[in-house]
């Protein structure tokens, strides 16, 4: 929880300008994970077929663990020619095919188990795990209300100290923040199938900052 130590009093035109800031820490209720399958072969068609088969098994694993079909989206499908350098020459060795799914997991307590099962089913890349709040707007509105109350209390204090009567209806309110919530974790890593995935969600910070002009009499 933070407050900006900023204010300005203008006696000539009867305006007090104050800022208010408030941060809420909320529990995430969803995880967004990028789960991928990378295959390699000298023949492009073979690498593509292997990727298709493994990816199908990974998707089925996610579905079996309660992830909705609409929450499994292909975010990347890429084909890369592979080369080695031998005696100073570039030698073609085959193709790499990469398919990555963006998966929204709503049973947040089962994230680790769901990722483990996907790896056992053929996934060999897990990237960008983010714990998020499905309704950040509601939390932001609460933070916004608290930020305004802090600004108002500052204005009351300043008007009292300067022997002025505060008009409780603000002349203007400027919102300096946005309802974006900071994700708890954003990391990239590769998991081997035999490893267990232990992921722990943390809280998400939602901050609102406003500047308010109050009239005084």
Mean pLDDT of 65-86: 95
Residues 122-160 pLDDT 10s? 999 998 888 888 888 999 999 999 999 999 999 999 999
Instruction: Answer whether residue 7 shows pLDDT above 90.
Output: no
For residue 183, pLDDT over 80 is answered with no
Does residue 193 surpass a pLDDT of 50? no
pLDDT band at 11 (very low <50, low <70, confident <90, very high): very low
* 196, pLDDT greater than 70: no
Share of the chain above pLDDT 70, in %: 85
**What 3 state SS string does the chain have?**
CCCCCCEEEECCCCEEEEEEEEEEEECCCEEEEEEEEEEEECCHHHHHHHHHHHHHHHHHHHHHCCCCHHHEEEEEEEEEEEEEEECCEEEEEEEEEEEEEEEEECCHHHHHHHHHHHHHCCCCEEEEEEEECCCHHHHHHHHHHHHHHHHHHHHHHHHHHCCCCECCCCCEEEECCCCCCECCCCCEECCCCCCCCCCCCCCEEEEEEEEEEEEEC
pTM: 0.72
Question: What residue segments make up the domains of the chain, in order of their start?
Answer: 1-29+133-185+192-217, 30-132
| Confidence (pLDDT) at 190 | 42
Assign domain 1-29+133-185+192-217 to a CATH class.
alpha beta
- pLDDT value at position 86? 83
The predicted pLDDT at position 214 comes to 96
Q: What is the pLDDT of residue 181?
A: 55
CATH number of 30-132: 3.30.70.2970
Mean pLDDT score of the chain, rounded to an integer? 87
């Amino acid at each position: 929880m933070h407050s900006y130590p900023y204010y300005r009093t203008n006696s000539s035109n009867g305006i007090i300008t104050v800022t208010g800031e408030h941060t809420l820490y909320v529990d995430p209720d969803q995880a967004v994970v990028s789960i991928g399958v990378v295959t390699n072969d000298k023949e492009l068609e073979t690498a593509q077929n292997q990727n298709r088969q493994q990816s199908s098994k990974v998707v089925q694993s996610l579905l079996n663990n309660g992830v909705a079909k609409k929450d499994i989206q292909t975010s990347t499908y890429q084909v890369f020619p592979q080369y080695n350098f031998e005696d100073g020459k570039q030698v073609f060795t085959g193709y790499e095919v990469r398919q990555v799914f963006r998966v929204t997991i709503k049973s947040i307590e089962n994230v680790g188990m769901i990722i483990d099962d996907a790896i056992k089913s053929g996934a060999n890349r897990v990237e960008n795990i983010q714990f998020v709040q499905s309704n950040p707007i509601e939390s932001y509105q609460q933070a916004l209300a608290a930020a305004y109350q802090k600004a108002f209390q500052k204005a009351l204090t300043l008007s009292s100290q300067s022997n002025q009567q505060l008009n409780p209806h603000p002349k203007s309110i400027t919102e300096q923040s946005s309802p974006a919530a900071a994700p708890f974790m954003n990391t990239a890593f590769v998991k081997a199938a035999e490893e267990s995935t232990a992921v722990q969600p943390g809280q998400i910070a939602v901050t609102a900052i406003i500047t308010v002009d109050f009239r005084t009499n």
